[in-house]
Structure 1
Amino acid sequence: MAIFEGAGVALVTPFKENGEVNYEKLEELVEFQIAGGTDSIIACGTTGEASTMTHEEHLEVVRFVCEVTKKRVPVIAGTGSNCTDTAVYLSKEAERHGAEGLLLVSPYYNKATQNGLKAHFKAVADQVKIPILLYNIPGRTGINIAPETIADLCRSVSNIVGVKEASGNFTAIADLMNFSDGCADVYSGNDDQIVPLLSLGGKGVISVLSNIAPAQTHEICESYFKGDVKRSASLQIAAIPLINALFCEVNPIPVKAALNLMGMNAGPMRLPLTEMEPQNQERLKKAMKEYGIL
């Protein structure tokens, strides 16, 4: 059984002006997501700025999100690293703190071989019992997890169950679906490609858009699963201008700006990310108004 089906949110981490995690606002964001019908919460991923957190902060955010969520929806913890020992440590601790799944990005910078990737992911999987999703985002990591590698891991390692696919390469995704023959749960890592991926048998999306439009993102998936593909596609198309605005600067700069525009006080970025450029913020504001969420 899949960890979840539908729209999971790649949750932002709100910060105070002094850079500390704002747990009061984090609780509000979790409740906003659950009220909006989000099917899963992914804590401490790229959108959550995990790369700028200490290990202690990272794990405390995971623990807090699990505590607030109270198993109303599954919590998946981002615990990937380019150091296998670090990924093992974060994964074991996230499991201990209540995470119901893990999201493991491919080791960035090192640029491991496909056999190295297999060894890395197996080493983590051997140390935990909860299900694992791989995260393929070569634009950020510099390495692609080949479809054959994903399929092999999902077949041979019982708790590696699928992948968040953000390569945008639909030929590779179709190959993965063919090679895995149903043993890999595939989620879109790109908000503009939800419906195309669902059409290949995907389970849903791990979404940035859902931070500001949880009900609408959930409905894209729900409509598809109910057989109303035409409505699902129309909802996907209607969201494209907003999605484009959310990615006109590197994620999560625009989505944090969007939450702040909505009065949800996600706070500042941590360096090296900086605040959104004024002209892009105007573009984002316009798209949000046209979409009806501002």
Structure 2
Amino acid sequence: MTKFIGTGVALITPFNADLSIDFNALEQLVEYNIANGTDYLVISGTTGESVTVTAEEKKQLIKFICNINKGRLPIVVGIGGNNTANIIAEIKATDFSEIDGILSVSPYYSKPTQEGIYQHFKAIAKVAPKPIILYNVPGRTSSNMSPETTFRLAKDFDNIVAVKEAGNNVHQYLELLRTKPKDFLVLSGDDDLALGVALAGGSGVISVIGQALPKEFSEMIRLGIAGKAKEAYDIHYKLMPITGMIFSENNPSGIKAVLEGLNISKSHVRLPLVEATDKLKNIIKNELNLLGKS
């Protein structure tokens, strides 16, 4: 699954002041990423505010981005949740003609056992027409998908090809990399750990900050995958401050503040999220100035 190696970006959903989707800003964001080295696009992840985007809006987003992209980059769509039957129904109702993969989060809130997580993804794998990237994010789901469960799924289902690991747990990353099947991809879901994961044998990242600084971030990951640690860390250290800033209040309010500072989109978010504070926006603006980006 070489199309998922490198830097994928978890796209925001830009909003107008009335909280309708800002398609003009979305087009600018997609073109900006295509032009600056992003390897693939991820639609309707957490960063896209998937939980407050309606089913109809999600269809509009997918169609719009596919029309803008015109096959230039692979596209992954987030289809996940804690109602297995609903996920299966959504997969069956989705047009995958221009979609390359599915990102599916481990069930949240319900806190299933490892067997429950396995059975959930087994049911999804049986109906999914495209490769599946599992998504483990314990901080949001309140349960951890163990490496054993991940690799049990990878072994049993050929269309489960990767895991986006976002537990900010270095030991678990290393355990995944140590024991993974040969062609299975371990992708970082933690921007701050992405380079270390790449250098340790990972296949890349699905990034938040990457969509704002795609040229620098994607080059860092390419260098990391190639084992060029010194050159990669030179970039990593430059990006460290702003990477920490975007998660200091909530995601995606932080990244939306960065994109506003870059004049790509506005910082509007839907409740229960709130916009980044003026204090954070000013800190981000100053950091963009230091990076020569504003």
Bin the TM-score by the shorter chain.
Answer: over 0.9
CA change 1:95–1:124 in 2 (3 A) is farther
- The answer as to whether partners of 2:3 and 2:39 remain within 8 angstroms in 1 is no
SS of residue in 1 equivalent to 2:102: strand
- The answer as to whether partners of 1:152 and 1:180 remain within 8 angstroms in 2 is no
Matched, 1:55 2:55: yes
| TM-score after normalising by structure 1 | 0.95
Matched, 1:228 2:228: yes
CA change 1:93–1:64 in 2 (3 A) is farther
Q: Which residue in 1 is equivalent to 2:120?
A: 120
- The answer as to whether partners of 1:59 and 1:93 remain within 8 angstroms in 2 is no
C-alpha displacement of 1:12? 0.6
Q: Which residue in 1 is equivalent to 2:66?
A: 66
SS of residue in 2 equivalent to 1:115: helix
Q: Which residue in 2 is equivalent to 1:42?
A: 42
Q: Which runs of 5 or more structure 2 residues have no equivalent in the other structure? A: none
Matched, 1:276 2:268: no
1-structure distance, mates of 2:100, 2:94: 9
1:97-129 residue CA offsets vs partner (Å, 9 max, x unmatched): 521101001111011111111111111111122
C-alpha displacement of 1:95? 4.7
Q: Which residue in 1 is equivalent to 2:290?
A: 290
State the AA in 1 paired with 2:53. Answer: M
2-structure distance, mates of 1:36, 1:199: 22
SS of residue in 2 equivalent to 1:220: helix
State the AA in 1 paired with 2:63. Answer: R
2-structure distance, mates of 1:17, 1:187: 34
Q: Which residue in 2 is equivalent to 1:106?
A: 106
C-alpha displacement of 1:89? 2.7
| TM-score after normalising by structure 2 | 0.95
Q: Which residue in 2 is equivalent to 1:130?
A: 130
C-alpha displacement of 1:148? 0.5
Q: Which residue in 1 is equivalent to 2:29?
A: 29
2-structure distance, mates of 1:173, 1:110: 24
- The answer as to whether partners of 1:191 and 1:207 remain within 8 angstroms in 2 is yes
Q: Which residue in 1 is equivalent to 2:265?
A: 265
Q: Which residue in 2 is equivalent to 1:77?
A: 77
- The answer as to whether partners of 1:79 and 1:87 remain within 8 angstroms in 2 is yes
Q: Which runs of 5 or more structure 1 residues have no equivalent in the other structure? A: none
- The answer as to whether partners of 1:59 and 1:90 remain within 8 angstroms in 2 is no
Q: Which residue in 1 is equivalent to 2:197?
A: 197
1-structure distance, mates of 2:185, 2:202: 7
1:186-217 residue CA offsets vs partner (Å, 9 max, x unmatched): 11111111111012211111111112101011
State the AA in 2 paired with 1:109. Answer: Y
C-alpha displacement of 1:24? 2.1
Q: Superposed, which structure 2 residues align to 1:168-179 within 5 Å? A: 168-179=168-179
CA change 1:63–1:246 in 2 (3 A) is same
C-alpha displacement of 1:16? 1.5
1:234-266 residue CA offsets vs partner (Å, 9 max, x unmatched): 111211001011111111001111111221123
- The answer as to whether partners of 1:177 and 1:184 remain within 8 angstroms in 2 is no
State the AA in 1 paired with 2:215. Answer: A
CA change 1:266–1:76 in 2 (3 A) is farther
Greater Cα offset, 279-288 or 230-239: 279-288
1-structure distance, mates of 2:39, 2:95: 19
Greater Cα offset, 217-226 or 244-253: 217-226
State the AA in 1 paired with 2:210. Answer: S
2-structure distance, mates of 1:8, 1:92: 25
2-structure distance, mates of 1:227, 1:261: 33
SS of residue in 2 equivalent to 1:104: strand
SS of residue in 2 equivalent to 1:236: helix
2-structure distance, mates of 1:159, 1:105: 15
2-structure distance, mates of 1:201, 1:226: 9
Q: Superposed, which structure 2 residues align to 1:150-229 within 5 Å? A: 150-229=150-229
State the AA in 2 paired with 1:287. Answer: E
State the AA in 2 paired with 1:211. Answer: Q
C-alpha displacement of 1:267? 4.6
1:56-86 residue CA offsets vs partner (Å, 9 max, x unmatched): 1112212221221112111000111111122
SS of residue in 1 equivalent to 2:161: strand
2-structure distance, mates of 1:259, 1:53: 20
Q: Which residue in 1 is equivalent to 2:8?
A: 8
